[in-house]
Copies of this chain bind each other. A is one copy, B any other.
Amino acid sequence: MSVTAVPGFDAAGVACGIKASGAPDLALVASADRQPVDALAVFTTNKATAAPVQVSRAHLASTGGRAVAVVLNSGNANAATGAPGRGDAERMCALVAGELGCRPEEVLVCSTGLIGIPLPMAPIESGVAPLVAALAADGGQSAATAIMTTDTRRKEVVVRGAGFTVGGMAKGAAMLAPNMATMLAVLTTDAVVHPDDLRLAVEGSFHRLTVDGCTSTNDTVIVLSTGMVAAAGIDVALAQACRELAEAMAEDAEGATKVVTVTVTGAASDGEAAIAARKIAESELCKCSWYGQDPYWGRVVSELGSAGVAFDADTVSVTYGTITVARDGVACDHDAAALKDVMAARRLHLTADLGIGDGHGLVITNDLTHAYIDENMGTS
């Protein structure tokens, strides 16, 4: 159901021919009455901003945050494509607007796939009419399928609140990092959403996720809201929806054999805890250890010592699950058999306590595996 779980939205996904494989590659989410609804978005911080990000940002500025539809393609990122790329992104919006009977500025656009290759427009020129024709009140699943790249499964969410619903779909399987990722997410709701609700929801979900430390050129989270319900609790529901989508991404990260939650406590501040957690989460050596189910905590301490945060080698402790393996900076006795089970599980919780202050922070990541390399050593 995803985005069409919410009354007032239609969606569709088709294969238009961008992907050589013939898999679905063009998706649309639109208001059911083709009238503008409230639209909020958070975009990548990467300065090499993809054309669709530039165009969507301009459209939102132009309409004051209103949109009729979001069109998304997979198979090509339309990034590092210069002025022609911006023209192509605008053309995508114009094509959709023409079919829907709205203004081009009322259409937002997202792309995901390889960078630096001109977007093939012929399949899009011919694909938009069938896409719009396919719009349906139960089209959420088709749309969620059409935005997948190396994702192995759809990422959908529905959260029901008191009198309102939040639906969402997302894609993302690598290049997930601080400030989002090669990730796209479109959420719909019938509740009134404030910008702070979205900002906090993203902060507590996608921004806590790092697979490989790479921040993509295309990251976009969009919320469309009919605003039919002025509901208390939309902040919580939106946060939950974003968290579920982020966790689905972590579960499906390229080549990963496990999801690792890194929590840092006892830091000088929450900010420093987050920096330290991210340093561990992005350490190639730590990630290899987790893949090997090796509880080698020396690498964790070494990363903490070089994270650029307040650190005292004599007060640090490291815990896997509930089993503390190092206390006050040195190895401590522990149940080795139980630890073996903890390291072997599909979900690993690592906690590092710096023993300095009250700051705490959390980052979700994965292990680094042979399959990740297989996935990323070639693009052709």
For residue A127, CB closer than 8 A to chain B, the reply is no
For residue A165, CB closer than 8 A to chain B, the reply is no
A interface majority secondary structure: loop
Task: Kindly list chain B residues whose C-beta atoms are within 8 Å of the C-beta of A368.
Answer: 284, 373
Q: How far does the Cβ of A71 sit from chain B's closest Cβ, in whole Å?
A: 22
The verdict on A305 contacting B379 (CB below 8 Å), with A116-B331, A329-B82, A330-B116 known, is no
Task: Kindly list chain B residues whose C-beta atoms are within 8 Å of the C-beta of A212.
Answer: 283-285
Q: Which of A264-316 contact B (CB under 8 A)?
A: 282-285, 288-289, 291-292, 294, 296-299, 301-306, 311, 313-314, 316
Q: How far does the Cβ of A211 sit from chain B's closest Cβ, in whole Å?
A: 9
Q: Copies of this chain, how many?
A: 2
For residue A355, CB closer than 8 A to chain B, the reply is no
Compute how far the CA of A238 lies from the CA of B249 in the bound complex, rounded to whole angstroms: 50
The verdict on A82 contacting B314 (CB below 8 Å), with A114-B296, A285-B174, A305-B217 known, is yes
For residue A328, CB closer than 8 A to chain B, the reply is yes
| Contact between A372 and B215, CB atoms less than 8 A apart | no
- A117's partner among B179, B331, B373, B379 (CB-CB below 8 A) is B331
| Contact between A45 and B306, CB atoms less than 8 A apart | yes
Tally chain A residues at the interface, Cβ within 8 Å. 65
The verdict on A214 contacting B302 (CB below 8 Å), with A80-B313, A284-B368, A377-B292 known, is yes
Most buried by B among A45, A118, A174, A284: A284
| Contact between A299 and B80, CB atoms less than 8 A apart | no
Compute how far the CA of A217 lies from the CA of B216 in the bound complex, rounded to whole angstroms: 32
The verdict on A373 contacting B330 (CB below 8 Å), with A82-B314, A214-B303, A306-B46 known, is no
The verdict on A48 contacting B373 (CB below 8 Å), with A82-B329, A116-B330 known, is no
Compute how far the CA of A65 lies from the CA of B173 in the bound complex, rounded to whole angstroms: 53
| Contact between A301 and B48, CB atoms less than 8 A apart | yes
**Residues of A bordering B, CB below 8 Å:** 45-49, 77, 79-82, 84-85, 114-118, 174-175, 177, 179, 212-217, 282-285, 288-289, 291-292, 294, 296-299, 301-306, 311, 313-314, 316, 326, 328-331, 368-370, 372-373, 376-380
- 19 residue pairs of the A-B complex, CB under 8 angstroms, read A46-B306, A48-B304, A82-B329, A115-B296, A116-B297, A116-B301, A116-B331, A212-B283, A213-B282, A214-B285, A214-B302, A214-B306, A216-B302, A217-B301, A217-B302, A217-B305, A285-B376, A288-B372, A289-B379
